[in-house]
Chains A and B, each alone.
Chain A
Amino acid sequence: MENLKLKEILLEIKNGNELERERLIRHYKPYILNVVGHICKRHLTWSNDETSIGLIAFNRAINTFEFDKGRTFVNYVYLLIQRDIIDYFRKEKRHLHLVSDNNLFDHDKAELKASLELYQQSTNTSELLEEILELDEKLSKFNISFEQLERHSPKHRKTRIKVMEMAFEFIQHSDLVDELVGKKVFPVSSFTKRTGARPKSIERHRKYLITIIIIQLHPEWRRLSAFVQAGPGSVKI
């Protein structure tokens, strides 16, 4: 999500647009779950207490985030969730009388480590994270999830280049792109008639091909676009 767009959305939410709040929460849900899991060092679901705490922290981040403080929204969310989760653990341990000096020391160490991570996050990944979240949202409309893509990814370098070229060729035809975006279905027959591509190879890599096309259709996703450059020399971020 672009900064400008996010700023507008946050302003609308602060003015009382609950629908936008709902939409923003839904957009960042995978990130909230990931942050909570990362802090707790285990996979969590929405039925866990920690994820509820994360969700509450995110909601507070929406209310309290200020753009002029010089940090990204994603980093701010991470910071709030981390604080709340650590507080929750402290309360839990106090409640259970299990707090020990060692544990406190561990927590201090963990906080220090988290701060370092936070710094790395702020400098490297916030932009990429925004792109990933947007791509995930777009692909979900095509019933594509990231974990399915391994099976549809071409294994050989030549095939991979071929698929990248097919995606590049596809976006040259605006009517085909409209059909894909509008109907959410890949127009196999129209594409094969125009390009002479084999329907079998399209079907084999269909989900991967759609993903590449979606990324190529969004050149503003600079970091993700670097991964799908046609040719062997892919650029590392």
Chain B
Amino acid sequence: MKEYKIEGVVIKVTESEYVLFCDDGTFRNIPLTKDNIPMMGERKTYTASTRNLAFTALSTVAVAILFIAFISYGVFQNHSKTHYIAAIDINPSIEAYLDEDLNVIKLSPLNTDGKQVVDSIDSDGMDFYQVVDLIVSQSILKGYLTTDEKGSIETTLVKVRNDSNLQWEIYLIEVIQTQLQRKSIDADVQVFNETKKFYDQSEGAGVSMNKYRHYQTLRNQGLVQDIEEVKEKSIRELLDMILEGVKRVPVEAEKGKDNSGENVKSNPESRQNQSQSTKGDQSDYKQEPSINKDVELRDTKTRNKSSSSENVTSTNQKSSEAPSNRDESSNDNEANQNAGMVDSQIHSIDNTKQKNETSKESQIPLQ
């Protein structure tokens, strides 16, 4: 800080400052000090301070270093403590950072609903179960879970540190169920274990792990192409989308079976009729059904794979069977059915392809 003197004559006094006509011919407005109203024509000397450029630069760098140190310290502190990361999705989407004893270090909202819930919770000194209990009760209070509509609660836990090993799923489900029972809420409760890699992927996509899992399923089904289509949807909506996709495919599979399955075997005559009628209706279907079947097959394989890699625990509150359970059970049924079923589907695709080719061939002369 450099100081310099301004000398001059007072030419005007206003409410907050006086104007100095300086010796160098310039004018300067000087702030008035308390109890001192200078006289016009009075000679005044004012000591002003100027900021040294080097000092300014140095102070800026110092502040920047301090800021970075502070931030990195905070991050380091958090990372050094965090043993688990849990994502809870109702419609509020919340991420919780937990220590080795599942005490909550930090709660982080992932959407606006999540922010509302997090703002109403004081998670200091609480463990994960208590916080989840609070999240559920707040979600009920704020109307995200109601008695009129069936809800869905999904929780995913990621082990950030390899040494951590905890059996948490059953107790968590109990906690959520107790809260739901108390408020007579009907909701599916599912808990998952995922890997740090999966967490990184979901973080990169900008959604919670639960949503990212559904996004993968929906993308495999060909129902969504971009993560943005999933971001704004609740878990319930995503589950409904998956269900619709699953329902649609079996119906189409049924049609395939009608064309080439047991019915055909039992009634060879009708096979001829149906193949004919299929030929006749080809213009309506074209290649669409075969694509959907293909997708369903891939999806079944993927889900079978994922169910083997993930540890999934699910229950249904009040309802006899949750939609997602139905989804899974249908997948399981499909997976557990004999290979003939899959073969028949493959056959049906082949048949359809053949039919498509036939129809194309038959259509060429017409065109």
Contacts and interface: CB of A to CB of B under 8 A. Distances in A.
B24 A147 contact: no
Interface string B33-62: 001111111110000000000000000000
B39 A160 contact: no
B136 to A, nearest CB: 62
B26 A160 contact: yes
Interface string A192-231: 0000000000000000100010000000000010011100
B15 A43 contact: yes
A227 B37 contact: no
B37 A121 contact: no
A38 B38 contact: yes
A147 B29 contact: yes
A34 B23 contact: no
A153 interface: yes
Interface string B18-32: 010111111111001
Contacts of A117: 39
A236 B7 contact: yes
Given A30-B40, A147-B17, A132 B11 contact: yes
A133 to B, nearest CB: 8
B9 interface: yes
A31 B25 contact: no
A229 B25 CA distance: 8
A149 B13 contact: no
Contacts of A30: 12, 40
Contacts of B43: 124, 237
B32 A38 contact: no
A139 to B, nearest CB: 10
Range of interface residues on A (Cβ < 8 Å): 35 or more
B254 to A, nearest CB: 82
Given A43-B13, A147-B14, A125 B32 contact: no
A212 B13 CA distance: 20
Contacts of B19: 146-147, 149-150
Interface string A16-47: 00000000000000110011011011110000
Contacts of B16: 43
A135 B37 CA distance: 21
Given A128-B41, A164-B25, A146 B11 contact: yes
A115 interface: no
Question: Which of B35, B40, B42 has the most chain A CB atoms inside 10 A of its CB?
Answer: B40
Contact of B27 (A35, A37, A150, A229): A150
Contacts of A154: 26
B7 A234 contact: no
Contacts of B9: 128, 132, 227, 237
Contact of A41 (B28, B35, B42): B35
A139 B28 CA distance: 17
A146 B37 contact: no
A228 to B, nearest CB: 5
A132 B43 CA distance: 13
Given A41-B36, A43-B15, A128-B41, A150 B28 contact: yes
Contacts of A125: 39-42
Contact of A157 (B13, B24, B40): B24
A159 to B, nearest CB: 10
B21 A227 contact: yes
A234 B24 contact: yes
A34 B13 contact: yes
Interface string A117-139: 10001001110110011011000
A35 B39 contact: yes
Contacts of B37: 34, 37-38, 40-43
11 contacts: A38-B37, A42-B37, A126-B41, A129-B41, A132-B40, A145-B12, A146-B11, A146-B12, A155-B26, A227-B25, A228-B25
Given A34-B37, A150-B28, A160-B24, 18 more contacts: A30-B40, A31-B40, A34-B39, A34-B40, A37-B13, A38-B38, A41-B36, A43-B14, A132-B11, A132-B12, A133-B40, A146-B12, A146-B21, A147-B14, A147-B29, A153-B26, A153-B28, A237-B9
Please give me the 5 A-B residue pairs with the lowest Cβ-Cβ distance, nearest first: A125-B41, A149-B27, A153-B26, A129-B41, A146-B12
